[in-house]
Amino acid sequence: MSADTRQTAPARVVWLEAIRAADAAAVGAKAARLGELLSRGHPVPPGFVVTADAYREAFAVLPPDADRRRALAEAELPEALKAAIHSALDRLTRDHGSECAVRSSATAEDLAGASFAGQHGTYYHVGRADVLQRIRQCWASLWAPEAVAYRGARGIDPASVAMAVLVQQMIPAQVAGVAFTADPVSGVRDEVVIESCWGLGAALVDGRVSPDRYRLARAGLRVRERRIGDKRLMVAPQRIEDGVGRLREVPSALRRQETLSPLLARQVAELALGCESVFDAPQDVEWALAGGRLHLLQSRPVTALPDDRPSPKRPGAYVLFKPVIENFTEPMTPLTADFFGMLKLPGLIQIDGWLYFDVGLIGRFLPLELSPQETADLLYLSRLPHTPGVAWRKLPAFLCALLFVQATLGTVWARLRPLPEDFMEAFRHLCDGVARDRRYGPVEAFRRLWLLPRMLDPLGRQPLLVNVVCGRGFVWMALLRFLLGRWLPGRPPDTWSRLLTGEPGILSAEMGREIAELAALARSQPAVVALIEKGADASGLDELRRVASGFVAALDAFLAHSGHRTVRELELAASRWDEDPVQVLGLLRAHNVTPHGAGPGMPGAHDPAAARAAVEAEVERGLADRFLERALGLRGRAIRAAAVEARRFLKLRENSRHFWIMAFRVVRRKILEVEERLLAEGRLKCRGDIFFLRWAEIVEQASGRWGWPEVEERLRERRLTHLRRSRTPPPRTIGIPEGDTVEQPAAAQRVMLRGQPASPGCYEGLARVVLDAALDVELRPGEILIAPFTDPAWTPLFLTAGAAVVEVGSFLSHAGTVAREYGLPCVVDVAGCTTRIQSGTRLRVDGSRGLVEILEEAPA
């Protein structure tokens, strides 16, 4: 330690400016690093350290059989030490406000392989009277069970660790977060990753919020990517004395607002890179922004980079279950996973919050000679690089499976035929009934509405079953392609998909048009436009009810039939549009910034039925020369029948989703009722935590056997795990060599991205990468929408775009279905398109062949 004259007691209380990196054994790694950074001119808040020797002395006099944690928390400090701390406090609070932050700084912290992040005590807004107690609590936190287990798991000798305590100026952060100079998940080292939230950074470190995430290229610090999180909660920058905890709801208008401007993001990145240059290794930096100034709160080595991380060993081969993945940007919360896990469907497995197909099991029933990689290709991409041979030995199993399916679902197919278009409205009534009936808890409601319909239920009350049986549409699609290929080999290859467009009454497409109409109505009322542009919150909605009752009536009518939908609608933790109508106002914002009537999907801009009729006429003309076709027209009838059936099933499949999602709203409401009860009883402390518990744990809590202490630590761990898993997309396959599921010739990769055709047609234009439908409203008419996935919240953008390219999806996904109805070319399943393509890149999208050609890169 440097011989600084401001040491107020021999090696027990030391000011930060006297500390260097080499002093870690005396002041702990955190304080040593901060001292070094302060000495190099970085904006570290001033403070002092109660050294590890003070801890050692307190520890040495503990009775041998004492509970160390409790004994340390109650230890009496020597008078000399107390005097030294008070003296240092006097100086700190005189110059830098009456409150300080008390933070642990263990001597084993921030080792290269173990960060100890969140393991030890940290206290904010500590007044002078509480400082000694908080110091003792920091000491005691070294012996918290989770910290002991963490050290044990990493082979760190408990006796070798001591705890210094850092007392610093309290920074009342308006925005705070972390910055990594290497991606902690992918290991990519040419970019800086920043996560930020409103208020103090504790909400982020505890995993309480979905932070905003920025990726900046290390060279030039240009923002490569920004994803704006739904920041529902924050730790307020000021001390709050209402006794209900420090977490606060973020005002609606701020929840989806980004926390960092590009300039601030660059400043944070510069700060992090400065720390890296001091320690010559990738750094994980905690920072805070207060009063327009950046403060550096911590810098430690990035731990658990991919090459350091143990790879999970799981026997078998799995591929992502696409019908679910295409609507999930994050893994399922534990409660949602628990509810999905109620269904023990062979072949379906949950891994780290994602749903996967068991390729091995499914491969046993497919009568084709396929390797696991090819089976995964078929299940995920619905395509194969070559025509496989027939596996005759698997034929009996396949025929048995067919018989089983026909015997089980045949009645449903037969029942579907005479039903009118709106037959599933019955499910809405059933949902209303179950929602009102207090005998149904969340589980019972889920079983009644989703898993176990009754034998005498009308089919309209079983939309999930309808969705499942609509898989038959694949057979009709395959037949249609086969017939066209056989009788009209010269026709363009997208003829079959053109014959599948123009089916009226697809609810998700109608919904998009209704949003466009709402936006048009909003545009006619300046008060509404002003509020939407400002970013309305709940109070703004109340104001709207007063000043624009006509618009609100239209909004209410929209919510009455589509209010159960939302972003990530299969996630129980996701609030629905009717719960939080401000989300819909966010969608309208996308329309208010674009001129009226733009885009091929806008009402009146494209007539898909007329386009299909033209293709049907061409097909008939093409068949006319065939033997006896003019007289009997058998081939034409066969093609028409296959197309009609395929369209019917495609439409039913998309529409049934509109209804079965209603079950999730009912179950969510019931869960929120339970949460309300647990909050009132003090068994839970924070809204939203219930989704990080498993159902059995909720029952334990509701029965009174468990309280808050039993769940506090597991909630924290699960939130952090969820946050970590959310940072990266899940592996497309497990147990199958990566890369084998994507066919992308290396030579073509530079200019051509390959995906699945989802809506036919070619389009050339400028790309606009949109990562968040509620935020990135800059999409201009005719631009090509580049999106990570789509769900109903994206529908309005389809009305404005000239074409769409989507990272995850399929022919039957929301993106494909809506794009076909709006008549814009769409390619789905284009791996990495949101990172490979920059906004402003000139593209040619070939929705018929599933190709995206990069014509001209975006200007730098």
Residue number with CB closer to other proteins (279 or 365): 365
- Please state, in angstroms and rounded to a whole number, the distance separating the CA atoms of residues 713 and 615: 62
- The reply on whether position 660 binds other proteins by CB under 8 A is no
Q: What DSSP line would sit under 133-164, residue for residue? A: HHHHHHHHHTTSHHHHHHHHHTT--GGG--EE
Task: Find the part of the chain contacting other proteins (CB under 8 A) among 418-426, 480-488, 563-571, 617-625.
Answer: 418-426
Q: What are phi and psi of 837, to 5 degrees?
A: -100, 130
- The reply on whether position 418 binds other proteins by CB under 8 A is yes
- Three-state DSSP class for 420? coil
- The reply on whether position 696 binds other proteins by CB under 8 A is yes
Task: Find the part of the chain contacting other proteins (CB under 8 A) among 334-342, 545-553, 757-765, 823-831.
Answer: 334-342
721 exposure class (CB count in 10 Å sphere: 0-12, 13-18, 19+): middle
Q: What are phi and psi of 390, to 5 degrees?
A: -85, 135
- The reply on whether position 436 binds other proteins by CB under 8 A is no
- Three-state DSSP class for 858? coil
Q: How far is CA 57 from CA 74, 139, 162, 604, 858, in A?
A: 14, 12, 10, 81, 63
Question: Which residues ranging from 758 to 797 are in contact with other proteins (CB under 8 A)?
Answer: none
- The reply on whether position 452 binds other proteins by CB under 8 A is yes
Residue number with CB closer to other proteins (43 or 347): 347
| Type of residue numbered 341 | G
Residue number with CB closer to other proteins (451 or 547): 451
- Please state, in angstroms and rounded to a whole number, the distance separating the CA atoms of residues 326 and 790: 7
- The reply on whether position 415 binds other proteins by CB under 8 A is yes
Task: Find the part of the chain contacting other proteins (CB under 8 A) among 272-280, 335-343, 820-828, 843-851.
Answer: 335-343
- The reply on whether position 341 binds other proteins by CB under 8 A is yes
- The reply on whether position 631 binds other proteins by CB under 8 A is no
Are β-strands 733-734 and 784-787 bridged in parallel, bridged antiparallel, or unpaired?
unpaired
Residue number with CB closer to other proteins (236 or 702): 702
197 exposure class (CB count in 10 Å sphere: 0-12, 13-18, 19+): buried
Query: Could you tell me the two tokens for 238?
Result: 């000021």
Residue number with CB closer to other proteins (380 or 446): 446
- The reply on whether position 464 binds other proteins by CB under 8 A is no
CB of 849 to other proteins, least distance (A): 40
323 exposure class (CB count in 10 Å sphere: 0-12, 13-18, 19+): middle
Residue 69's contacts (CB-CB under 8 Å, 6 or more residues apart) are 140, 141, 143, 144
Q: What are phi and psi of 55, to 5 degrees?
A: -60, -45
- Please state, in angstroms and rounded to a whole number, the distance separating the CA atoms of residues 812 and 816: 6
Residue number with CB closer to other proteins (146 or 457): 457
Task: Find the part of the chain contacting other proteins (CB under 8 A) among 273-281, 412-420, 607-615, 773-781.
Answer: 412-420
CB of 666 to other proteins, least distance (A): 15
- The reply on whether position 459 binds other proteins by CB under 8 A is yes
- The reply on whether position 705 binds other proteins by CB under 8 A is no
- The reply on whether position 441 binds other proteins by CB under 8 A is yes
CA 260 to chain centre: 19
Residue number with CB closer to other proteins (313 or 439): 439
CB of 321 to other proteins, least distance (A): 16
- Please state, in angstroms and rounded to a whole number, the distance separating the CA atoms of residues 711 and 390: 54
Q: Which of 22, 62, 244, 451 binds other proteins (CB under 8 A)?
A: 451
| Residue 783 CB coordination number (10 Å) | 24
Cα Dmax for the chain: 110
Task: Find the part of the chain contacting other proteins (CB under 8 A) among 109-117, 343-351, 780-788, 844-852.
Answer: 343-351
- The reply on whether position 407 binds other proteins by CB under 8 A is yes
Give the Cα-Cα-Cα angle 450, 455, 460 (nearest 5 degrees): 55
- The reply on whether position 648 binds other proteins by CB under 8 A is no
| Residue 150 CB coordination number (10 Å) | 19
- The reply on whether position 345 binds other proteins by CB under 8 A is yes
| Residue 498 CB coordination number (10 Å) | 24
Question: Which residues ranging from 661 to 680 are in contact with other proteins (CB under 8 A)?
Answer: 674, 677
Q: Which of 351, 702, 742, 771 binds other proteins (CB under 8 A)?
A: 702
| Residue 458 CB coordination number (10 Å) | 15
- Three-state DSSP class for 704? coil
- The reply on whether position 475 binds other proteins by CB under 8 A is no
- The reply on whether position 423 binds other proteins by CB under 8 A is yes
| Residues near other proteins (CB under 8 A), total | 40
Task: Find the part of the chain contacting other proteins (CB under 8 A) among 247-255, 484-492, 570-578, 693-701.
Answer: 693-701
Residue in 826, 836, 818, 804 with CA at minimum distance from that of residue 756: 826
- Please state, in angstroms and rounded to a whole number, the distance separating the CA atoms of residues 516 and 795: 10
Residue number with CB closer to other proteins (447 or 669): 447
Residue number with CB closer to other proteins (59 or 691): 691
- The reply on whether position 219 binds other proteins by CB under 8 A is no
CB of 428 to other proteins, least distance (A): 13
Task: Find the part of the chain contacting other proteins (CB under 8 A) among 237-245, 275-283, 433-441, 549-557.
Answer: 433-441
Beta bridge partners, 17, equal none
CB of 668 to other proteins, least distance (A): 15
Question: Which residues ranging from 132 to 171 are in contact with other proteins (CB under 8 A)?
Answer: none
Q: Which of 98, 277, 408, 749 binds other proteins (CB under 8 A)?
A: 408
CA 127 to chain centre: 38
| Residue ranges that bind other proteins, judged by CB under 8 A | 338, 341-345, 407-408, 410-411, 414-415, 417-420, 423, 426, 438-439, 441-443, 447, 451-452, 455-460, 674, 677, 695-696, 698-699, 702-703
